[in-house]
Structure 1
Amino acid sequence: MPGAASPSPAQAEEPPGSGHCRQTLGQTDRLLGAGLAMGHSPGQSQLLMLLLVLLTHVQPRQERMDYVPRLWSATLAGRLTQSTFTLEQPRGLFSGPNISDRDTIWLVVARSNATQSFRAPESVEDSPAPADFPQSGYYLTLMAYRALYPGGQASSQLHVLRVGNDTRCATTTRGCNHPLPDSGPYRVKFLVMNDRGPVAETEWSTETRLPQAQALQVVRGAQSAGTVVIIAILSILLALLLTALVAVLIYTCFDSCRSTPISGPRETVSVRRYTTHDAFSTPAMGGS
């Protein structure tokens, strides 16, 4: 364009974000000049400037909620299985002003020995999936919003969260509620996150250990005296029962055979065949 000033080589090669740096430096210079104008020494002005920068860049500490997740009542059938366990819903817990309706609420499932090393991810994209559970020791699942956990509503329905209840999702999918791989023990906590990172979290639950199927083991070695006596008595009773059954069969067969007449070979009857013929008497011929 005619009359337009061409950029200098330094401006053309300026890296991204340098404008923000120049703006920050300009604000710093202005703050330093204002401090000097107010009668502060250069050292005091620099200290005030440093404190202001720290206050504007430090992220607020996430809220620690005084809540411990717990299992549902022991009377619930299937509360603990070989790959799932059932929690109470934290109804009304996330109604505070620091949590918005758009913040996501996650359940962190971790092994008991991995809770000390757990660090909340800076974003949901950094959170591990169930496939990373063997390496990381924890993963995030059961994403929800606080509208799903309202408080103050009396209802006869069960408000529960079943961990490990989804058998259709892939373990590589973030947030998948895949069945738990073994008996644990496990501990869980709720974590609230927004676009800037973690907002609030609860306390860790107590340990939860899942039941496992016991393999049938064959008892080897010497039997006790009571066991030997029981086996002997049962063997004798079985022998007597078989003997009585055989006797009943023999008696039934003999009685049926005796009541039926035994027939011998029939007598041979010979029949003579006679040829019958009529005897006609010849009339006497008259004499001459």
Structure 2
Amino acid sequence: MGFSRGQFGLLTPPLLLLTCLQLGIGLECIRYMPQLSNATLAATLTQTTFTLEQPQGRFSHLNISDFDPIWLVVAHSNAVQNFTAPQRVEDTPVPADLPQRGYYLTLRANRALYLSGQPGNQLRVLRVGNDTSCSPKTRGCNHPLPGPGPYRVKFLVMSDRGPLAETQWSSETRLQQAEAFQATPGPRSAGTVVIIAILSVLLAVLVTTLLTLLIYTCYNTCGSTLISGPGESVYMRRYNPHHVFSPPAVRGS
């Protein structure tokens, strides 16, 4: 049974779930595509992280219980076709598997955290790659992303019996890249040459002034102080104690 694009757009969410099963996908398809946060946040995209909107009210299907873990799948854009949902929690790929597998699971939650109708003063976002304290070999670690991407993400609902449902893949997300400053070679303009010449003259005047001031200060200080050299004679006054002094003898008349 085929569906046109227009017919697919008119399907209700329960019918869409049934259609996904009939198409042989194997998992219930949740009609939702993860998106970057549109809140006025600083650093929505960085060199190692990006911020998503929370999927509020997207997991209210009856087949999903409050105890079923909801994972975020992070994958390289060219690896989404190779993604295979793990059948057991023990088989959950970790961030260290990204270079080899091309994807991993992180940010484990449950649908109670994604309920709709929560207070509007709460900031409902998910920052991917925001945990620098966990090991990339730890299950569920939200480790910083290792490169600029591009990345695509989706939500996967698991249970004790295996995967239950999944959302659509997001569009590509590219992280910021550090740009090294490189001086542009080439001839300098006339204005640049004039500025360099003026600065050079001012620097020379400043150095000359400092040297003159230093010489003048040293001359005044050193010229007013008598410094005894090693060749100068040292005079000492002789002193005779009274008990060793003998007066001259008085001649008799």
State TM-score, norm by structure 2.
0.69
Equivalent-residue separation in structure 2 for 1:200 and 1:140 (angstroms)? 14
| Change in CA separation of 1:74 and 1:223 when aligned onto 2, cut-off 3 Å | farther
Q: Secondary structure at the match of 2:195?
A: helix
Give the alignment partner of residue 113 of structure 1, picking from 51, 54, 78: 78
Equivalent-residue separation in structure 2 for 1:123 and 1:80 (angstroms)? 32
After superposition, the C-alpha distances for 1:158-214 in whole angstroms (9 at most, x for unaligned) are 222221222333323332222211111111111112233322211222222222333
| Change in CA separation of 1:257 and 1:149 when aligned onto 2, cut-off 3 Å | same
Aligned position for 2:236:
none
After superposition, the C-alpha distances for 1:42-87 in whole angstroms (9 at most, x for unaligned) are xxxxxxxxxxxxxxxx999422222221222363123222222222
Aligned position for 1:156:
121
Aligned position for 2:91:
126
CA drift of 1:131 comes to 1.8
Equivalent-residue separation in structure 2 for 1:144 and 1:80 (angstroms)? 22
The one-letter amino acid paired with 1:161 is: L
Correspondence 1:1-288 to 2 at 5 A: 61-73=26-38, 75-217=40-182, 219-220=184-185, 222-249=187-214
State TM-score, norm by structure 1.
0.61
Identity %: 67
| Change in CA separation of 1:254 and 1:175 when aligned onto 2, cut-off 3 Å | closer
| Change in CA separation of 1:139 and 1:60 when aligned onto 2, cut-off 3 Å | closer
The alignment yields a C-alpha RMSD, in angstroms, of 3.8
Q: Secondary structure at the match of 1:106?
A: strand
Query: Mind listing any 5+ residue stretches in structure 1 that lack a counterpart?
Result: 1-57, 261-288
The one-letter amino acid paired with 2:180 is: A
Structure showing greater radius of gyration is 1
The one-letter amino acid paired with 2:58 is: L
Query: Mind listing any 5+ residue stretches in structure 2 that lack a counterpart?
Result: 1-21, 226-253
Q: Secondary structure at the match of 1:116?
A: helix
Equivalent-residue separation in structure 1 for 2:197 and 2:25 (angstroms)? 79
Equivalent-residue separation in structure 2 for 1:154 and 1:74 (angstroms)? 16
Deviates more, 1:132-141 or 1:96-105: 96-105
Equivalent-residue separation in structure 2 for 1:249 and 1:191 (angstroms)? 76
Q: Secondary structure at the match of 2:42?
A: coil
The one-letter amino acid paired with 1:156 is: N
Aligned position for 2:244:
none
The one-letter amino acid paired with 1:210 is: L
After superposition, the C-alpha distances for 1:198-257 in whole angstroms (9 at most, x for unaligned) are 222112222222223333445555444443332222111211222333445556667889
The one-letter amino acid paired with 1:188 is: V
- The total of aligned residue pairs comes to 222
| Change in CA separation of 1:136 and 1:95 when aligned onto 2, cut-off 3 Å | same
Equivalent-residue separation in structure 2 for 1:123 and 1:253 (angstroms)? 85
Equivalent-residue separation in structure 2 for 1:115 and 1:214 (angstroms)? 29
